[in-house]
């Protein structure tokens, strides 16, 4: 069992004929993902990496039974692409696109909830379940199939921490990059709930960063709802007070959202917090 994706996931790629769409379609297929369709308006009939291209998501869904989508559409058109996917019945939409206007993101997320769909992102690296499927841009080589669930706001830190887990012989059940924008479709708490219910996930790693209160809220949720061991890393420990850095969501105001406040909240919930990314693997190995 995997979280959100598995061997039965049938993926379509919106924006498949662009450079990023082509490149990552190939990488996803090499990972073992069942990529069944691509969508680019006006490009119906083309073939990309042995994947048929359609003009609309609805055409692709009707012909191939696709049930998940990944969006490589430029920011001004990303919202329309996501809404099109949801209207066509897609229940999981992974939105890689960055610089999506915040009001567009709000509309996307609200519409998805109304339709019973889930958005990962925007501005995220996607998700991967080793041995099953990947919908995203995470590098194939860093993964190994075992039992640690990873949820992260940062793409590059995700790669570093997953790679260190793999090198330590501690593989992953599912890794999800939720994105660092102020408005995202899936948050820490929702992922913690999924990992708690997943029998193949025995431990959970959270990767957070300064700004916002998502990590503090997750800490409160962990106290009463998560029985599995949780480990965390918070980026931005050395950021100057009041500094805005990194993602659009990494904004610290009035003493809230600092690395110190997040670490204190997590530790009070029983979470072991690493000082550097690679220490996550060391903390887990001590508990095995």
Q: Smallest Cα–Cα separation from 150: which of 137, 162, 142, 168?
A: 162
Strand partners, 137: none
The C-alpha atoms of residue 94 and residue 135 are separated, in whole angstroms, by 7
Q: What is the full DSSP assignment across 225-260? A: H--S-EEEEEE-TTPPTT---SSTT---BTTBT-HH
Q: Smallest Cα–Cα separation from 1: which of 201, 172, 177, 171?
A: 201
The C-alpha atoms of residue 257 and residue 236 are separated, in whole angstroms, by 10
Residues marked active site are found at 247
Q: Strand 133-136 to strand 126-129: parallel, antiparallel, or no bridges (unpaired)?
A: antiparallel
Within 116-256, residue ranges assigned H as helices are 155-167, 188-197, 214-225
């Amino acid at each position: 069992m995997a979280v959100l994706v598995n061997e039965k996931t049938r993926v379509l790629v919106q924006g498949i004929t662009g450079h990023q769409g082509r490149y990552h379609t190939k990488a996803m297929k090499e990972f073992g993902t069942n990529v069944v369709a691509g969508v680019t308006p006006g490009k119906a009939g083309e073939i990309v990496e042995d994947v048929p291209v359609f003009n609309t998501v609805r055409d692709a869904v009707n012909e191939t039974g696709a049930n998940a989508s990944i969006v490589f559409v430029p920011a001004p058109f990303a919202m329309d692409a996501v809404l099109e996917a949801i209207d066509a019945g897609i229940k999981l939409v992974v939105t890689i696109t960055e610089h999506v206007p915040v009001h567009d993101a709000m509309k996307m997320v609200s519409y998805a909830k109304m339709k019973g769909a889930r958005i990962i992102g925007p501005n995220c690296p996607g998700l991967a379940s080793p041995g099953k499927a990947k919908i995203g841009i995470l590098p194939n080589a860093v993964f190994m199939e075992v039992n640690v669930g990873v949820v992260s706001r940062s793409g590059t830190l995700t790669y570093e921490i997953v790679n260190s887990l793999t090198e330590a012989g501690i593989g992953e059940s599912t890794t999800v990059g939720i994105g660092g924008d102020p408005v995202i479709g899936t948050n820490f708490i929702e992922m913690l709930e999924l990992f708690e219910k997943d029998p193949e996930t025995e431990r959970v790693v959270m990767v957070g960063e300064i700004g916002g209160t998502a990590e503090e809220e997750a800490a409160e949720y962990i106290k009463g709802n998560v029985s599995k061991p949780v480990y965390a890393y918070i980026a931005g420990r050395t950021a100057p007070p009041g500094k805005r850095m990194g993602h659009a969501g990494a904004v610290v105001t009035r003493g809230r959202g600092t690395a110190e406040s997040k670490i204190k909240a997590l530790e009070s919930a029983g979470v072991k917090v690493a000082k550097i990314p690679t220490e996550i693997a060391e903390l887990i190995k001590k508990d095995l």
